[in-house]
């Protein structure tokens, strides 16, 4: 009997590692996801199983960012990668490089599961739907800036309501990273104070193409938005989770812009009709009121008032005439009194008396009016009209 060679554990594990990694360097495996964990580091850890077996799987951050959907337990997928062995534990696992749903049915099933979950939470309830302003100033657009859908929205806005301003944050709306991009754009718009509401959407495509609008993170970003949101994704037959959460659903991006903007031709027609009807109503009101005023003015009551006003005018004229005459008479009397006073004052004017040939004799600065008051022994002055002379009794 041949003697068996004794191996170390590490030797066996190393041989198994080489064997597995060499023979399973690039394989595709189909299975159902379970125990899915999205680690804070960005890496994914999960188990892939079927009815008879299971295998641990790892998908690193740099690779899982290319997966267009978020895996969840129960989803059947096809992954591609390689078998690796971790010697310290003697475990083998599948190092996943890519992942896709195992047929459209898996995506549809995931859609229904998320729809049911969010509906149960109340995210689709009408009580949370926010109203949209009728005449927006600025509309935020969350879509790809190079897409035909955006050009169609510009065309519709220009035709219907050229006064509105469109603001776009260019956003990926398909493939890897699209869901994160949509969430980021919605949050950026919500930080602004000048946006009235948002349109989130893109043109038509397959279920896989539109899948970013079925992501839970996108649904919750729409629900949490303070700005009202119109969802316009795909064609009329396409429905996404975003449509159910949004405040208003439009079948296409162009239809979303139709719902978002008033038609300027309708506004002009309304203004014209309103102006015509208003002019007619105002003219009729003026005519009716004029007729009522005329009838009232010709009534006895108004005629009696007019007579009273005329009598009042006449009385005022009489009073005015009396006041005027009394004032003139008073002024005449005042003038006469002033004239008499003036003549009296002039009569007492000494210069006038002197001018007529009279003179004034003064002794000791006092006028001598009587002969007995004159002292012949004292000096005196004689004032004539033209001059005054002094008489000195001492002969000086």
**Domains of the chain, CATH where assigned:** 9-102 (2.40.50.140), 124-262 (3.40.50.10550), 350-391 (no CATH)
The model's confidence at residue 128, banded by pLDDT at 50, 70 and 90, is very high
CB 200 within 8 A of CB 168: no
Q: Are strands 366-367 and 360-363 parallel, antiparallel or unpaired?
A: antiparallel
For residue 306, the model assigns a pLDDT of 63
Residue 288: CA atoms inside 13 Å, Cβ hemisphere, count?
A: 6
Instruction: Name the range with the highest mean pLDDT among 15-19, 88-92, 127-131.
Output: 127-131
d(CA 332, CA 345): 20
Alpha-carbon dihedral angle through residues 211, 213, 214, 215, given to the nearest 10 degrees: 100
For residue 2, the model assigns a pLDDT of 67
Mean pLDDT value of segment 310-327: 80
222 has pLDDT over 90: yes
Q: Which residue has the higher pLDDT, 168 or 177?
A: 168
Task: Burial-class residue 31 by CB neighbours within 10 Å (0-12, 13-18, 19+).
Answer: buried
389 has pLDDT over 60: yes
Q: Three-state DSSP class for 362?
A: strand
For residue 217, the model assigns a pLDDT of 93
The model's confidence at residue 266, banded by pLDDT at 50, 70 and 90, is confident
CB 379 within 8 A of CB 386: no
For residue 150, the model assigns a pLDDT of 93
Picking from 55, 69, 54, the residue whose alpha carbon sits closest to that of residue 99 is 69
Q: In what order do the strands lie in the sheet with 138-143?
A: 165-170, 138-143, 197-202, 229-233, 248-250
For residue 202, the model assigns a pLDDT of 92
């Amino acid at each position: 009997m041949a003697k068996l060679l004794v191996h170390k554990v590490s030797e066996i594990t190393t041989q198994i590692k080489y064997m597995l990694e060499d023979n399973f360097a690039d394989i595709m495996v189909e299975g159902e996801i379970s125990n899915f964990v999205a680690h804070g580091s960005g890496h994914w850890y999960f188990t892939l199983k079927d009815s008879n077996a299971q295998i641990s799987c790892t998908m690193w951050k740099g690779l899982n960012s290319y997966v267009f959907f978020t895996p969840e337990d129960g989803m059947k997928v096809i992954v591609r990668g390689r078998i690796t062995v971790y010697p310290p534990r003697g475990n083998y696992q599948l190092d996943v490089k890519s992942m896709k749903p195992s047929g459209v049915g898996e995506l549809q099933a995931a859609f229904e599961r998320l729809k049911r979950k969010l509906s149960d939470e109340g995210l689709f309830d009408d009580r949370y739907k926010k109203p949209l302003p009728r005449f927006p100033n600025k509309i935020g657009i969350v879509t790809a800036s190079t897409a035909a859908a955006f050009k169609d929205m510009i065309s519709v806005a220009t035709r219907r309501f050229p006064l509105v301003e469109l603001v776009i944050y260019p956003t990926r709306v398909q493939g890897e990273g699209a869901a994160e991009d949509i969430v980021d754009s919605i949050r950026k718009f919500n930080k602004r104070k000048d946006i009235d509401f948002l349109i989130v959407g893109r043109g038509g495509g397959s279920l896989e193409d539109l899948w970013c609008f079925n992501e839970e993170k996108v649904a919750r970003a729409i629900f949490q938005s303070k700005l009202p949101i119109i969802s316009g994704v795909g064609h009329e037959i396409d429905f996404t989770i975003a449509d159910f959460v949004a405040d208003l659903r439009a079948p296409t991006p162009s239809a979303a812009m139709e719902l978002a903007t008033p038609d300027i031709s309708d506004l002009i027609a309304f203004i014209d009709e309103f102006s015509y009807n208003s002019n007619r109503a105002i003219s009729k009101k003026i005519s009716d009121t004029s007729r009522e005023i005329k009838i009232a003015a010709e009534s006895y009551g108004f005629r009696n008032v007019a007579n009273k006003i005329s009598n009042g005018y006449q009385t005022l004229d009489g009073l005015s005439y009396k006041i005027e005459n009394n004032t003139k008479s008073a002024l005449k009397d005042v003038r006469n009194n002033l004239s008499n006073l003036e003549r009296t004052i002039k009569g007492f004017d000494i210069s006038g008396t002197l001018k007529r040939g009279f003179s004034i004799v003064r002794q000791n600065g006092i006028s001598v009016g009587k002969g007995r008051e004159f002292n012949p022994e004292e000096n005196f002055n004689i004032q004539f009209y033209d001059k005054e002379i002094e008489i000195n009794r001492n002969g000086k």
